[in-house]
């Protein structure tokens, strides 16, 4: 028997604070939510300004979160609470080295409530430049079966 999934609505909000200059982004897409033991997995596609599609794979465990993006942009960003991780962000204009320090991770699974919720507070340094504050919020709403 294969892994069972739920159809969900995904809302991914990001806030970047670059020395008081605020940047807000929101992505709303249909997705699929899987559970295997203590691992929650979310997949969804993202259309990037008519340039192509990026596939998103988010794995959530009690102590870490990984966001893997493939397609037009490629990235494998890991978040571990009170820890620093590094990765390369590939986009059509080149590669950027990312250093991520995660302040906090809060997660409530879609199985624990009507709506799942993930919030990550972190800092990022791009190519060794001054760090910027980031906040990621992920809202997962189970869709009704038809």
In this prediction the pTM is: 0.91
The pLDDT of residue 1: 44
Written as six digits, the tokens of 77 are 């960003």
Show the domains of the chain with their CATH numbers: 5-142 (2.40.128.20)
**pLDDT digit string, tens, across residues 4-36:** 789 999 999 999 999 899 999 999 999 999 998
**Cβ contact 56:69 at 8 Å:** yes
**pLDDT digit string, tens, across residues 41-96:** 999 998 877 778 899 999 999 889 999 999 988 999 999 999 999 999 998 889 99
HEC letters along 98-133: EEEEEEEEEEECCCCCCEEEEEEEEEEEECCCCCEE
CB proximity list for 7: less than 8 A, separation 6 or greater:
30, 31, 32, 142, 143, 145
């Amino acid at each position: 028997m294969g892994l069972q999934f739920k159809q969900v609505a995904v809302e991914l909000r990001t806030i970047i604070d670059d020395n008081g200059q605020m940047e807000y982004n929101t992505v709303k897409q249909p997705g699929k939510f899987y559970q295997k033991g203590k691992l929650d997995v979310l997949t969804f596609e993202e259309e990037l300004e008519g340039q192509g599609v990026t596939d998103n794979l988010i794995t959530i465990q009690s102590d870490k979160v990984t966001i893997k993006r493939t397609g037009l942009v490629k990235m494998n960003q890991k978040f571990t609470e009170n820890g620093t991780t590094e990765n390369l962000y590939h986009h059509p204009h080149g590669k950027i080295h990312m250093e991520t320090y995660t302040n906090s991770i809060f997660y409530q699974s879609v199985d624990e409530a009507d709506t799942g919720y993930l919030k990550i507070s972190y800092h990022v340094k791009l190519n060794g430049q001054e760090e910027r504050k980031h906040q990621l919020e992920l809202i997962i709403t189970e869709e009704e079966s038809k």
